Amino acid sequence: MEIKEYVLNRKTEMREEISTLDKAPVLSIISVGYNPASESYMKGKCKDSAEVGITALMSRLPEEATQEQLLNLIKEQNDDPSIDGIIVQLPVPKGIEEKAIIDTIAPEKDVDGFRADSPYTSCTPKGIIDYLAREGFEFKGKNAVVVGRSNIVGRPMAKLLLGKDCTVTIIHSKTPEVEKRWYLAHADVIVVAIGRLGFLDESYELKESAWIVDVGINRGEDGKLHGDCVPNLKVARQTPVPGGVGLLTRLALIENVLEAKKAK
């Protein structure tokens, strides 16, 4: 199923479920300063929330806000029982540490799943795994290769694939080229999350039965968004950019908010 259609179906199911709850789930979105990319992400999160019946509350702090002001706001919202999930839109201005933010959001409200002790799965890997499962990808015993080892995508992705009984390899910037090619040639599912336009191209030998998940978002010279993989590789499945993992990540966030509400 196309990702767009899958997301629409899942949102319809969620809307129905939320309509049966005593009270709508509440997501708090906190931003500091102004960043055009962040504005568009936040708009997307508000739209998704509205579509399924989640109440999104926006709190905007000025560019010159201090870390203390931000952390105090998070603490207030941690203590507010009417708020189910809290996210702080990243990046934040210089002078504010991302780690301090993540450490301050209460684990049970950390719907981005950034804390190690958050009960929620980090949104991009969760969105990908749920989609692959729904599409019938048979994980057990398959070779999974994750390209990139960041804390928000590569590492949690590898852990989830391992949890699904895949044989998992992470390749990264220090993996020798010849080894990269060897692992990729043996992969049944490849998740590419490095932020290098067109990294995976026709020069790589790939299994025709492979599924490729392209996480990368890169602005091309044409001014448009492109993935880490060139389109139309000769494989069984390849997620598009745009209209792929970005939509799955957005879906996973609202799924986590609903889970937070239901966990109360």
Report the interface residues with ligand NAD, using CB under 6 A: 124, 147-150, 152-154, 171-173, 193-196, 199, 215-218, 245-246, 249
From the CB of 145, what's the least distance to ligand NAD, in Å?
A: 11
The structure tokens listed for 214 are 């392209």
Write the burial class of residue 82 (CB in 10 Å: 0-12 exposed, 13-18 middle, 19+ buried). Answer: exposed
Identity of the residue, 32 or 213, whose beta carbon is nearer to ligand NAD in the bound complex: 213
Contacts of 199 (CB under 8 A, 6+ apart): 147, 192, 216, 228, 229
From the CB of 57, what's the least distance to ligand NAD, in Å?
A: 22
Identity of the residue, 41 or 51, whose beta carbon is nearer to ligand NAD in the bound complex: 41
Write the burial class of residue 67 (CB in 10 Å: 0-12 exposed, 13-18 middle, 19+ buried). Answer: middle
Identity of the residue, 10 or 149, whose beta carbon is nearer to ligand NAD in the bound complex: 149
Do the beta carbons of residue 114 and residue 152 sit within 8 Å?
yes
From the CB of 18, what's the least distance to ligand NAD, in Å?
A: 23
From the CB of 240, what's the least distance to ligand NAD, in Å?
A: 11
Identity of the residue, 61 or 170, whose beta carbon is nearer to ligand NAD in the bound complex: 170
Q: What is the DSSP letter of 109?
A: G
Identity of the residue, 83 or 194, whose beta carbon is nearer to ligand NAD in the bound complex: 194
From the CB of 5, what's the least distance to ligand NAD, in Å?
A: 18
- Tokens 């870390």, located at residue: 67
DSSP string, 190-213: EEE-S--TT-B-TTS---TT-EEE
Write the burial class of residue 198 (CB in 10 Å: 0-12 exposed, 13-18 middle, 19+ buried). Answer: middle
